[in-house]
Structure 1
Amino acid sequence: MIIKEIAKKSPYFIQRPIRSIYGIIPYYKKLGKIFKNTYDFLGKSQYWNKEQLEQYQVEQLKNLLVHSYNNVPYYCKLFNECGFNVEKFKYLDDIDKIPFLTKDLVMKNTKDLMAKNFKKSDFIYSSTGGTTGKQMRFFTQKNFSASREWAFMITQWSRIGFDYKNSRRIILRNQVLPKGRLWIWDNCQRSLVVDTYHLTDENIKKIIDRLNYEKNPYIHTYPSAVAIICDYIKRTGYGLTYDLKGVLASSENIYVGQRELIESTLNTRMFSWYGHSEQCILAGECERSNKYHIFSEYGYTELIDNKGNVIRDNGIKGELVGTSFNNYVMPFIRYKTEDYACYSQDQNCKCGRNYKLLDSVEGRWLQEMIITSKGNKISITAMNMHSDIFDNVKNFQFYQDTPGVCIINIVKKSSYTVKDENVIYRELSKKLGNDVILKFNYVNNIERTKGGKYRFLIQKIKT
């Protein structure tokens, strides 16, 4: 793990030999026991009957609730105030008595949400991407949260043939590559990492040539990024010369017609899933349909209406609320995600799994695009920053009305200084590159739409 951290933080000329050496170690050995145990467990539990899955959730919730009451100041106070007795918890719907956790509450009570029975070194800093204009910082559990998360991810990818020991990926997401490079080979992940910030026609042609050379069978991507490449292939007829096994798409809503474009152009299945940084809910498409299986072993998922009432009937849209089994250092219990979904009318799946099924998910990440001076598009999803650069910012929003120029509107906290502006400029400029000028505009508040919704990017350029 130390080698991996050095590789992440070092310049590319130092990273390259470190990654090459690290890549010699068999991938499955680098993943560790937590990953292996979770992965093996899911191989069996995903086919449990409904009673077994429910019993597992009751046991996991009981463990989490007892731990939280005994070790987390926020929950000790909350449970006492609402009269919730953790020792009497027996049924899933007993959790209805606990008030919801929101992003604002997490930000206001960060310290009190941290478990007292863990060492400081057990806490790993994390943050949300800021789609609501507020970037929330929180902590996950070292050597546990990420390992379990990856085991679940690989398990759902295996539905379309992905083998964690042998399969290779093409990654089209938000990695910032060394200047002048359109791709790098990452031995640590056995993946070809491709630049998504400079998808001009000229660069796309070069990227396609590289993909045809590498012949990696899976593309791990944002839907918007691979759609840009598919649009190029449709227009020019210049495409892949080998067969893909699947497109692994996440982090964005899938627009009408987009799945058809991607699947028909690349002649393969696009497999999507819903998850989020807080790791409370994970739901992935089934190999037998486009419905989403909610992992019962990952956490406890609820749907609520706009009055906070739990929705138990199928076909009714509500907000997703999650309780995570992946994080004991900073438990999230009944966390309101601000994402929406509905249970499928038909809860019987041909695959034989008994997980609860969602028809679709409406997430916060829309496929909004920043237009560069050269006319190519950068998905706003790729601007997602899981770091502390916005810690001294109340709200922020991107605005564009001129190709090649992007304004970031910022509502400052009292602790905000010139140093924050310099850091934000440096980190965002790494992603935007030389083809977009970033400008700062300080405002008192961020305007919302007529419907009261927040937009991460206000795009005024007609494309």
Structure 2
Amino acid sequence: MAADADILHASRERIEQIQLEGIQKTVLDVYEHIPFYKKSFDEAGFDPRSVKSLDDVARIPFVQKQDLRDAYPYGMLAVPLKDVREIHMSSGTTGIATVGAYTEHDLKIWGECFSRAVDFAHGDENDVMQICYGYGLFTGGLGAHYGSISAGCATIPISAGNTERQIRILREMGPTILACTPSYAMHIADTAIEMGLDPARDFSLRAGIHGAEPFSDNFRRDLERKLGYRVLDIYGLTETMGPGVAIECWEQQGLHIAEDHFYPEIINPETGEVLPDGEWGELVITTLDREASPVVRYRTRDITRIIPGECPCGRTHRRIDRIHGRTDDMLIIRGVNVFPSQIEDVMKTFPEMSSWYQIEVDTDHRSLDIVTLKAEPNPNVDLDSIADIDRLQKRISAALKAALSVGVKVKLVEPKSIPRSEGKAKRIVDLRKEL
């Protein structure tokens, strides 16, 4: 842990030297071993031996998710298949899955990166981590598992589902750290409350390590109040490793990028121009030491920014802001860009409303977009009449119009009528795509 702690407080000069050496090695590696990159670099006139500084990275062509899909299943491997020890895949719900492969070295680095989340949560070998991310092709469960083992925690690999059993273990076995999606943590909390429990009192949780989907500050505060712990965000994706690429520390002022393993850039998603620290744009990641499935300038589609300055915790690795949304999840409603997180921020200003909502987008007979927000009131809210419901719907709709500059119809629905998920919450139903 001493060497790891040392690198987390390294000087910018040392970090940037590690990044430059990693990029120089990686671009040569992919050029020599992955036909896609050789073709891409040659067509762009980029010589992989020409990288002399980090500024040169901007000359390298991007790689996008479709490129990885087109290479399915093994076209993006930089090592022989005999050297691969594990394979994960994205869900493939919007197309062919992307494949992430790992050598023994890659798995070790993954565990070390996720173990930083335990450290950031003030955890060590005295902690018990309950992992409710799904195990399998999804990277969440095993990424958290390797991190928990690497940090020396006692690990409960319960996976997702069977919520009442999750609650029983939380009560009886005293986990101090909970790892799952934020929406599933909320489902656990709400279910426990419905069972007559007070999770903040009846559980032993100190921290939750929650990722795989964006969540607002208001959602975080609601979770912390219900479960009596501190929520730390974690970021990652199959294409670059899995959870552990960036992790929020106890200060909750952005997610520290594992800059000794990843080189981040923020670009204008329309032009590809690299943006300065502080400006919002699309996150681009280059892996520095991944053996099986390296990526160079991978466009994540996630919208964030690099936060200027150092974190109060004293760690020197730069921070990205919490993910604002995805360019492919962004809704364009009558010419206005709308992210689900913006709607969630408005919803949380209404104490009558729960954390469960779904956005439905359709078109009318004039081919104009119609947005309907289906939302559940809190179970303890007394809406005695149609007039009460109508007034609340109109108040929420007015607040959304003021915040988003687009009209949103609000429809209050029965508690528990919006589908719960053991993994990522499905926030958007875009019926326009079905026409």
Q: TM-score, normalised by structure 2?
A: 0.67
Q: Give yes or no for the alignment of 1:336 onto 2:299.
A: yes
2:183 maps to a residue whose letter is S
CA deviation vs aligned residue, 1:133-183 (integer Å, no higher than 9, x gap) = 1242324232122221110110232112222x442112222259xxxxxxx
SS at match of 1:144: helix
Cα distance change, pair 198–368 in 1 and its aligned pair in 2 (3 A):
farther
The total of aligned residue pairs comes to 335
Using the alignment, how far apart are the partners of 2:135 and 2:18 within structure 1? 37
5 Å-filtered alignment, 1:89-128, equals 89-110=51-72, 112-115=75-78, 118-123=79-84, 124-128=86-90
Partner of 1:250: 211
Residue 261 of structure 2, aligned match among 284, 294, 298 = 298
The amino acid across from 2:268 in the alignment is D
Provide the rounded CA distance (Å) in 2 between the counterparts of 1:448 and 1:87. Answer: 44
CA 1:208–1:127 in structure 2 vs 1: closer, same or farther (change >3 Å)?
A: closer
Q: What per-residue deviation string (whole Å, max 9, x for no partner) do you get for residues 362-391 of structure 1?
A: 35598888x9xx96843273599xxxxxxx
User: Quick one: distance in 2 between partners of 1:210 and 1:76?
Assistant: 51
Residue aligning to 1:191 = 155
TM-aligned CA deviation for residue 233 of structure 1: 4.6
In structure 1, the residue corresponding to 2:43 is in which secondary structure? helix
Please say if 1:72 is aligned against 2:34.
yes
Uncovered stretches (5+) of structure 1, i.e. residues with no partner: 1-38, 177-186, 385-396, 401-445, 451-463
Whole-Å separation in 1 of the counterparts to 2:88 and 2:166: 32
CA distance 1:114–1:175, shift in 2 (3 Å) = closer
The residue type paired with residue 317 of structure 2 is Y
- Counterpart-to-counterpart distance in 1, 2:429 and 2:277: 38
Q: Tell me the equivalent position of 1:208.
A: 167
| 2:285 is aligned with 1:325 | no
**Counterparts of 1:126 and 1:135, CA distance in 2:** 13
Residue in 2 that maps onto 1:278 = 239
User: Taking structure 1 as reference, are residues 86 and 208 closer, same or farther at Cα in structure 2, changes over 3 Å only?
Assistant: closer
1: CA distance, partners of 2:161 / 2:227: 21
Written as runs of structure 1 = structure 2, the 5 A alignment for 1:24-43 is 41-43=3-5
Counterpart contact for 2:268–2:281, Cα < 8 Å: yes
Superposed, which structure 2 residues align to 1:158-173 within 5 Å? 158-163=119-124, 165-173=125-133
Q: Alpha carbons of 1:449 and 1:147: their partners in 2 closer, same or farther (altered >3 Å)? A: farther
Distance (Å, rounded) in 1 between the aligned partners of 2:2 and 2:237: 23
1:284-324 alpha-carbon deviations (Å, 9 max, x no partner): 11222331111211211111112333333233221111111
Q: Which runs of 5+ in 2 are unaligned?
A: 137-147, 330-339, 341-355, 359-412
- List 4+ stretches of structure 1 deviating above 6 A: 365-369, 397-400
Q: Work out the CA distance in 2 between the residues paired with 1:378 and 1:41.
A: 42
Residues 209-248 of structure 1: per-residue CA shift (max 9 Å, x gap):
4322101111111111111232345556512425322111
Q: 1:102 to 1:174 in 2, by over 3 A?
A: same
Q: Deviations over 1:32-66 (max 9, x none)?
A: xxxxxxx6542211101111111110011111112
Q: Bigger CA drift: 286-295 or 374-383? A: 374-383
Seen in structure 2, the aligned counterparts of structure 1 residues 360 and 383 have a Cα distance that, compared at 3 Å, is closer
* Kept after mapping to 2: 8 A contact 1:57/1:299: yes
Q: Find the counterpart in structure 2 of residue 174 from structure 1.
A: 134
Provide closer, same or farther for how the CA distance between residues 449 and 43 of structure 1 changes in structure 2, counting only shifts above 3 A. farther
- 1:192, distance to aligned residue in structure 2 (A): 3.3
Show the counterpart of 1:316.
Answer: 279
Deviation (angstroms), 1:326:
4.4
Note closer, same or farther for the CA distance 1:380–1:368 as it changes in structure 2 (3 Å cut): farther
- Provide the alpha-carbon RMSD of the alignment: 3.6
Q: 2:105 aligns with which of 141, 144, 148?
A: 144
Q: Is residue 351 of structure 1 aligned with residue 323 of structure 2?
A: no
User: Superposed, which structure 2 residues align to 1:409-424 within 5 Å?
Assistant: none
CA distance 1:284–1:208, shift in 2 (3 Å): same
Aligned AA for 1:221? C
